[in-house]
Structure 1
Amino acid sequence: MDRKARGLNNYLNGVAAEDCVERLYCDAGAKVLKRRWRSKSGEVDLIFQLGTMFIFVEVKKAKDFAAAASRLSDRQMQRIAAAAEEFCASTPLGMEANIRIDVALVNDTSDSQIIENVSL
């Protein structure tokens, strides 16, 4: 597979993983606000609102959960936290908003594992 085809395949796999995770959160009563939201600090895969809380989700897909988790770096999580602050600042609640940062791991069979309230 050439580089362009591999890139397209990775993109489509990422979108499919995000779709699976979005359904899980929506089934739990959350409302999707943004997909692949970009800020000066970085990109957040999914942003939901559940009641008065904003949930920022980083989705990682790999063969298994351990491999997916290994693709997450401290630096990336710091960028997501900074992007979350930027998002909140753009809302009426501002920095008073309740937030949570989650990581969603998706394996090759589209099973998902959600790690809620990841600490930096």
Structure 2
Amino acid sequence: MNHNQELGAAGEELAANYLLDAGYAVLERNWRCNLGELDIVAETNGQIIGVEVKTRSSLGFGHPAEAVNPAKLRRLSLLVRRWCVTHRRNPHTVRVDVLAILMPPGREPRIEHLIGVES
């Protein structure tokens, strides 16, 4: 596993724990279908949430959330709906959240939770 893969895996682990601590149920991680992948599928208050996790070690290449463009958001929205169909779930709403994580070496990670960026 290279450095970027390790950073991404650490970010996804941190994100899952953050969601659990915030009262979300983490239903699945790294769910894949022919349309792509959802990093995390979570649930809270009857909502199914597709969570995109973006992790960086610095802002040298921009804020982590900047990597999630409108086309990616549309695809994530389709993915969370596909997950619901595949798992025979009929939530009253679905949404897409982004967890932008900055993990500078030797410092505490910072998590920014962008809620409902696409619903």
Q: Does the pair score TM above 0.5? A: yes
Compute the displacement of 1:114 (Å). 0.4
- The TM-score, its normalising length taken from structure 1, stands at 0.83
Q: Is the 8 A contact 1:105 1:112 kept in 2?
A: yes
Q: Is the 8 A contact 2:97 2:118 kept in 1?
A: no
Q: 2:45 is matched with which residue?
A: 51
Change (3 A) 1:118 1:81: same
In the alignment, the residues of structure 2 paired with residue 52 and residue 77 of structure 1 have an alpha-carbon distance, to the nearest angstrom, of 21
Change (3 A) 1:83 1:119: closer
Q: Is the 8 A contact 2:54 2:64 kept in 1?
A: yes
Say yes or no: does 1:33 pair with 2:13: no
Q: Is the 8 A contact 1:40 1:83 kept in 2?
A: no
Name the aligned partner's letter for residue 102 of structure 1. Answer: D
Q: 2:75 is matched with which residue?
A: 79
Q: Is the 8 A contact 2:74 2:118 kept in 1?
A: no
In the alignment, the residues of structure 2 paired with residue 35 and residue 119 of structure 1 have an alpha-carbon distance, to the nearest angstrom, of 19
Across the aligned residues of Structure 1 and Structure 2, the Cα RMSD in angstroms comes to: 2.0
Q: Is the 8 A contact 2:24 2:44 kept in 1?
A: yes
Q: 1:11 is matched with which residue?
A: 5
Compute the displacement of 1:100 (Å). 1.8
Q: Deviations over 1:31-89 (max 9, x none)?
A: 11111111121111111122321111001112139521221122211211111111111
In the alignment, the residues of structure 1 paired with residue 62 and residue 34 of structure 2 have an alpha-carbon distance, to the nearest angstrom, of 30
Name the aligned partner's letter for residue 50 of structure 2. Answer: F
In the alignment, the residues of structure 1 paired with residue 23 and residue 63 of structure 2 have an alpha-carbon distance, to the nearest angstrom, of 29
Name the aligned partner's letter for residue 41 of structure 1. Answer: L
In the alignment, the residues of structure 2 paired with residue 97 and residue 38 of structure 1 have an alpha-carbon distance, to the nearest angstrom, of 23
Most deviating of 37-46 and 69-78 = 69-78
Q: 5+ residue gaps in structure 1?
A: 1-6
Pick the structure with more strand per residue: 2
In the alignment, the residues of structure 2 paired with residue 88 and residue 34 of structure 1 have an alpha-carbon distance, to the nearest angstrom, of 12
Name the aligned partner's letter for residue 42 of structure 2. Answer: F
